[in-house]
Amino acid sequence: MKFKKYYIIADTREQFDNESNSAIHPYNDHPSAESIAYLARQLQENGYNVEIFGGVEKLIEACSQKKQFQKALFLNFSDGLIQKNRKAQTAILLEYLGVPYTGSDALSMLMAGNKTYAKKLVSSCVNVPHDMLIFQNDTITQPPKFPVVIKPNREGSSLGISQKNICANFTELHERLPMLLSKYHEVIIEEYIPGYEITVSVKPYATE
């Protein structure tokens, strides 16, 4: 299928609260408006008919108006708005519109956006650190093996993560866990694995 039009879907960093206490510029789990504009320019300079479409709200508007898009591919760079399951919002709306888009489908986004569920899925074929999932007002009934690292269960891009998230004993865990729970509500207490973390890129594909 040859696409005649390419729409960039993105909710940009500047639309949301700054999640960093130290960053001068807004930081959160979204691309910057500058990055999206740069992407659009590069694609246009390479001969593609590209337009920045907008994010979730623009997709909702398109769905409500039952808009039709012929021979168009949607390039999905949005992480949604602010809800728990926000990462799947654009995929759901694009599927409702019945248009092809790049990236994972809604179910994959939902599963990958939840550390606990994602680990359960892959644990049959790869080794994963031992963990326990804690919600607000939960009590730790089974002591973990220290050291541990505590992470928001449904966030990415290292949000909520600093060197203080590594806890060597119960005292540090009980001091630091409430602050993380109060902001993110679901926290995973995970066996700490020292070393470097590596991200491997996967080439996007068009979902019909």
Whether residues 90 and 50 share a domain: the answer is: yes
Torsion sign across C-alpha atoms 29, 35, 39, 44: positive
Instruction: Give this prediction's pTM.
Output: 0.81
SS3 99: coil
User: Domain of 129: which CATH number?
Assistant: 3.30.1490.20
Domain assignment present for 179: yes
Average pLDDT score over residue span 143-166: 88
Cα–Cα distances in angstroms (integers) from residue 22 to residues 3, 82, 146, 156, in the given order: 43, 21, 28, 18
Determine the pLDDT at residue 202. 64
Average pLDDT for the chain: 89
Residues 6+ apart with CB under 8 A from 16: 26, 28, 30, 82
Residues 6+ apart with CB under 8 A from 68: none
Instruction: Work out how many domains the chain is built from and give that number.
Output: 2
**Pick from 39, 34, 43, 77: which is nearest to 59 by CA?**
77
* pLDDT level of residue 50 (50, 70, 90 thresholds): very high
Whether residues 75 and 96 share a domain: the answer is: yes
Whether residues 91 and 150 share a domain: the answer is: no
Cα–Cα distances in angstroms (integers) from residue 82 to residues 87, 155, 177, in the given order: 9, 11, 22
Structural domain containing residue 178: 124-191
Q: Could you report the per-residue pLDDT of 87-109, keeping only the tens digit for each?
A: 999 999 999 999 999 999 999 99
Whether residues 89 and 161 share a domain: the answer is: no
